[in-house]
Amino acid sequence: MSLKDSQWWRDAVIYQVYPRSYADANGDGVGDIAGIRARLGHLRDLGVDAIWMSPWYPSPMADAGYDVADFRDIDPAFGTLTEAEALIEEAHAAGIRMIVDIVPNHISSEHPWFKAALASPDAPERDYFWFRPGRGDTGEQMPTDWRGEFGGTTWTRTPDGSWYLHLFTPEQPDLNWDHPDVRAEFESILRFWFDRGVDGIRIDSAALLLKDPALPEVLEDSPHPFHDLDGVHEVYRAWRRVSDSYGEDRALIGEVWMPEVERFANYLRPDELHAAFNFDFLGCAWDPRLMRDCVDRTLHAHAAVGAPATWVLSNHDVTRHVTRYGREDTTFSFDNNLDGTPVDLELGTRRARAAALLSLSLPGATYIYQGEELGLWENENIPPEEFQDPMWGRRGHSRDGCRVPMPWTGDEAPFGFTTATPWLPQPAEWKDRTAQAQTGDPNSMLELYRSAIALRRTESLAEFSWLDLDPSVLAFCRGRNFGCVVNMSGAPIALPAHQSVLLTSGPLDGDRLPPDTAVWLRLS
Ligand code: NOJ
């Protein structure tokens, strides 16, 4: 796809860089921009269209950078704004677009606004947040019993006796989106990054921004007090006006966790966001009927609003899919903690290979989470005392296992990631998963991703339709003669009539497709 293609976001392959864990150039054990620049070639060779950069702004790192203290600069651990600008330029020169991550629901408690708000009850900045008196005779009880997104309570009391709201950690006070200054500030932040040439914005916790000011409790049959309030759409309409003023090649991509697809699709109406992550697909079991329903649901909901679907298997918040697909229960949900349940990594890897061909041939954009192209699994052996994720103390699950630094070269940790001790330990078994070990090995995950992304570019992946094979098989056609078949049954199946095999996720068994294997075909 050329940089000139204005609606590139409709069918792009977008690679999530988690800057702490991509590559460390300054030898402190934490990844940085210089490391990303040094290893940009990996992304060029992989063939991705865009990078989504997880937050790289100054931050006390109470939530790995999702607690932003200044949206217009770079954390010294990652580098400087000048280096960020150089990376944007180098990525563009390599034909790769750049998406930055904006976190509008909350900011860091170290942000100047919050510091000013805490300094005096009369500070005008108080109104940028949700400060409220407590309940009870002396205001000793929290204003509501809302549960936080990481579990636990959502209010913290300040020395002057009032409480402030934080849907995540106390270091992430929620902003008051009813205040015009908050809206103006974020529109200005969007412009700051668009002016630096970025091609898109990933929007964190996009459905949470507005709160019912009456602060009702969460009750089953009543409207939710902070999830998906109708007024949030006005915010994104305003953001769309900002992005459109730079051209339709600038994209807004929402992180919208929403079980109801119709409500989800509301965020993708033509004057709102361009795209949103498909968590329905990410959480779906490795099961042909459920997957087929999920694909249908997805395509139907997106078609209704004219938005492109997205296909996401992993990200920095969820258990890596090699691990998920190797478990008996292959679903993902934060409410169903499967940590430590038995995992068959060989099976998980086989399925992850098949899932790569599936997610790269469905209609829409495909997201790759750093390391998935190397077949990395969740590191479930991090000693709890090394956990850094604030979710750990609140939900008994740590997201650190999917955030472990990348293995690049060599036979032992730190595998070329750093010259120091990596900020999280890498499994010794990753010696076979380094980019170096996989390069040139036709059976490797890395070469599978490279071939699939290259083929995806040359194939005209047009109109989607299901092929009616066995119900335990997921099979579809794109355009006249491109076919994808994923065998989710426990037994080999016969391939449909075809002229040639374009790519397989694993060896065929004569003319049969083994279980947990996918194939791309030139159909007859
Ligand atoms: C979603 C982000 O992906 C996650 O990492 C973060 O902890 C929360 N939003 C809060 O910002």
Residue range 231-253, pLDDT digits in tens? 999 999 999 999 999 999 999 99
pLDDT at 492 over 60: yes
| Domain annotation covers residue 457 | no
Nearest C-alpha to atom 10 of ligand 1 is from which residue?
66
Share of the chain residues as helix, strand and coil, in percent rounded to the nearest 5: 30, 15, 55
Q: Look at residue 460 in the predicted model and tell me its pLDDT.
A: 85
In a domain, residue 312? The reply is: yes
Q: Report the domain count for the chain.
A: 3
| Of 478, 15, 479, 476, residue with least CA distance to 288 | 476
Q: Are residues 507 and 471 in the same domain?
A: yes
Q: What is the mean pLDDT of residues 240-268?
A: 96
- Indicate if 370 and 351 belong to the same structural domain: yes
Claim to verify: residue 77 and residue 118 sit in the same structural domain: no
High-pLDDT (> 90) share of the chain, %: 97
174 domain residue, yes or no:
no
CA-nearest residue for atom 3, ligand 1, is: 317
* Tokens read off for 200: 């898109």
Check pocket membership of 267 for ligand 1, CB cut-off 6 A: no
Determine the structural domain holding residue 136 and report its residue range: 112-165
Minimal-distance CA residue to ligand 1 atom 5:
317
Residue 175 inside a domain? The answer is no
Q: Looking at this protein, which amino acid is placed at residue 277? A: F
- Say if residue 287 is in the same domain as residue 231: yes
Closest atom of ligand 1 relative to the 66 alpha carbon: 11
pLDDT tens across 98-118, in order? 999 999 999 999 999 999 999
In angstroms, rounded to a whole number, what is the distance separating the alpha carbons of residues 293 and 307? 19
Per the domain annotation, does 172 fall within a domain?
no
Residue 170 lies in a domain: no
49 carries an active-site annotation: no
Those residues with Cβ within 8 angstroms of residue 48's Cβ, 6 or more apart along the chain or in another chain: 13, 14, 15, 96, 368, 453
Whichever domain contains 393, its CATH number is: 3.20.20.80
In angstroms, the Cα distances linking 338 to 284, 335, 342, 377, 476 are 15, 9, 9, 14, 32
Residue 3's pLDDT is 45
- For residue 5, the model assigns a pLDDT of 82
State if residue 66 touches ligand 1 by the CB under 6 angstroms criterion: yes
How confident is residue 165, by pLDDT bands cut at 50, 70 and 90?
Answer: very high
Which residue among 101, 204, 272, 317 is the active-site one? 204
Q: Average pLDDT for residues 260-272, to the nearest whole number? A: 96
181-185 mean pLDDT:
98
- Beta-carbon count within 10 A of 132 CB: 17
Does residue 161 share a domain with residue 93? no
Selection from 113, 140, 276 nearest residue 203 by Cα: 276
pLDDT value at 325 more than 50: yes
Residue 478 and residue 506 in one domain: yes
State residue 508's pLDDT score: 97
CATH code, domain with 116:
3.90.400.10
Alpha helices in 148-202 (DSSP H): 180-195
Shared domain check, 408 and 511: no
Residues of the chain above pLDDT 70, percent: 99
| Residue pointed to by tokens 């056609």 | 477
Give the mean pLDDT of the chain. Answer: 97
pLDDT mean over 203-216: 98
45 is an active site residue: no
Q: Residue 119: is it exposed, middle or buried by C-beta count within 10 angstroms (0-12/13-18/19+)?
A: exposed
Answer yes or no: is pLDDT of 2 > 60.
no
Same structural domain, 118 and 256? no
Expressed in angstroms and rounded, the spacing between residue 103 Cα and the centre of ligand 1 is 8
Whether the full predicted model's pTM is greater than 0.95, yes or no, is yes
Instruction: Tell whether 224 is covered by a domain.
Output: yes
Q: Is 317 in the pocket of ligand 1 (CB under 6 A)?
A: yes
Asked whether residue 92 carries a pLDDT value surpassing 90, the answer given is yes
* Average confidence (pLDDT) over 481-504: 97
* Residues 409 and 362 reside in one and the same domain: yes
Whether residues 315 and 362 fall in one domain:
yes
Atom 11 of ligand 1: nearest residue by CA position: 66
Decide: 174 in ligand 1 pocket, CB within 6 A: no
- Residue 173 domain-assigned? no
Residues 78, 153: one domain?
no
Say whether pLDDT at 316 is over 80.
yes
Report the alpha-carbon distance of residue 135 to residue 514 in Å, rounded.
62
pLDDT for res 412: 98
Please report, for the domain that includes residue 467, its CATH number: 2.60.40.1180
- If asked whether residues 273 and 368 sit together in one domain, one would say yes
Q: Among residues 449, 478, 512, which one ends one of the domains? A: 449
The DSSP symbol for 367 reads E
Cβ atoms of 455 and 472 closer than 8 Å: no
pLDDT band at 259 (very low <50, low <70, confident <90, very high): confident
Gap between the Cα atoms of 494 and 84, Å rounded? 51
